[in-house]
Amino acid sequence: MGINRRHFINLTSLSVAGFSIKGFANNAKPNKTNKPIVISTWDAGLNANKGAWAVLSTGGAALDAVEKGVMVTEDEKNCCVGLGANPDRDGFVTLDASIMDHEFNCGSVGFLERIKHPISVARKVMEKTPHVMLVGEGAQQFALSQGFTLESGELSDDAKKEYLNWLKKSTYKPIINIERKQSTTQLDAKFQAPTKLSNGEWNHDTIGMVALDAHGNLSGSCTTSGAGFKLRGRLGDSPIIGAGLYVDNEVGAVVATGQGEDVIRVAGASAVVEQMRQGKSPQEACKFVVERIRRIKKEKANDIQVCFIALNKNGEHGSYALHKGFNYAVHSNDGASLVEAPFIY
């Protein structure tokens, strides 16, 4: 696949989750802002976007949309993020999340255990504290003080199975293109990104979402269980504002997925926003930063996946991935679509 072309998957006749969704051929709408619009990572984003669209299509704020949207995925049992996801190597699910609005307000939580909606705790951090980030026990205490319920801490059936399987070898090796468990969304085989490795392992589990509302305001959210079977205490890029997520309402909003350590190294989401500020399109800006990561990682870039999705102030969107197999979901007045990201390898 050429790396300068945007590749759209037209889902015009594809039925997803019981109803038909419309595809589109071109996201750019010259001289007209494409709003409202929401985009999110992976095909799990199709469902998440529906949650966001319920807010956006009725004139709601992008901030509410990106919170409600990723909550859909956090709620999915045995799915990619939230308490149903894979645990760390000690058998505990630990969650990271961040949220940012159009006025540089932001909040995040890291290493949060037994709380169902880390994205909503991140929002409370943003709105109710003078801080940006709370982690671990303190984040959990804060969540409880805000009325969140302490969940059981039991692993989901899928996660239990995979953890027991992982324990047989107990090796941790980042593996590309497995940011989420198999989506509950039914897709035609040709639209499927790789879902599960032949050895049965899953690794990263993230959903990131950015939206532009009818008032012209951008916001973003990101929520994850991080790298599967990670070292206890590990934080990825998702709760780090500027790495996993960044929003500048004058320019655009960006969220990352993939190997968090390598997104942090280049302050990824912020770097993509800065490239858009210089005049690059969302796709060009994502590509610029992915190529920087490839240069830094050299041959080790073969072993990791990093992807960005970006939305600019005009509602134009784009993406770029280090490796083949990343896609993102779009929802606007044109309907719902899944877009295959261009890539280097």
Number of residues that bind ligand GLY (CB under 6 A): 12
Q: How far is the CB of 322 from ligand GLY (least distance, A)?
A: 13
Closest CA to 255 of 304, 320, 315: 320
Q: How far is the CB of 308 from ligand GLY (least distance, A)?
A: 11
Q: Kindly state whether residue 238 participates in binding ligand GLY, applying the rule CB under 6 A.
A: yes
Q: Kindly state whether residue 67 participates in binding ligand GLY, applying the rule CB under 6 A.
A: no
> Looking at 14-22, 222-230, 271-279, 296-304, which segment touches ligand GLY (CB under 6 A)?
222-230
- C-alpha span between 11 and 2 (Å, rounded): 21
User: Quick one: 61 or 121, whose CB is closer to ligand GLY?
Assistant: 121
According to CB under 6 A, which one of 36, 242, 258, 282 is a site residue for ligand GLY? 258
Return phi, psi of residue 207, to 5°: -125, 130
Q: Kindly state whether residue 206 participates in binding ligand GLY, applying the rule CB under 6 A.
A: yes
Q: Kindly state whether residue 262 participates in binding ligand GLY, applying the rule CB under 6 A.
A: no
Residue pair 231/92 in contact by the 8 Å Cβ criterion: no
Interaction mask 156-195, ligand GLY, x per CB under 6 A: ----------------------------------------
Q: Which residues contact 272 (CB under 8 A, 6 or more apart)?
A: 246, 254, 285, 286, 288, 289, 308, 310
Catalytic-residue membership of 206:
yes
According to CB under 6 A, which one of 73, 217, 219, 257 is a site residue for ligand GLY? 257
According to CB under 6 A, which one of 228, 236, 242, 342 is a site residue for ligand GLY? 236
Q: Kindly state whether residue 319 participates in binding ligand GLY, applying the rule CB under 6 A.
A: no
According to CB under 6 A, which one of 228, 260, 268, 342 is a site residue for ligand GLY? 260
Q: How far is the CB of 264 from ligand GLY (least distance, A)?
A: 9
According to CB under 6 A, which one of 227, 241, 276, 341 is a site residue for ligand GLY? 227
- C-alpha span between 271 and 254 (Å, rounded): 9
> Looking at 80-88, 120-128, 160-168, 230-238, which segment touches ligand GLY (CB under 6 A)?
230-238
Q: How far is the CB of 262 from ligand GLY (least distance, A)?
A: 9
Q: Kindly state whether residue 237 participates in binding ligand GLY, applying the rule CB under 6 A.
A: yes
According to CB under 6 A, which one of 94, 224, 283, 337 is a site residue for ligand GLY? 224
Tell me how crowded residue 233 is: count the other CB atoms within 10 A of its CB: 12
Q: Which of 41, 73, 94, 206 is catalytic?
A: 206
Residue pair 133/242 in contact by the 8 Å Cβ criterion: no
Chain contacts with ligand GLY (rule: CB under 6 A): 204, 206, 224, 226-227, 236-238, 257-260
Catalytic site positions: 206
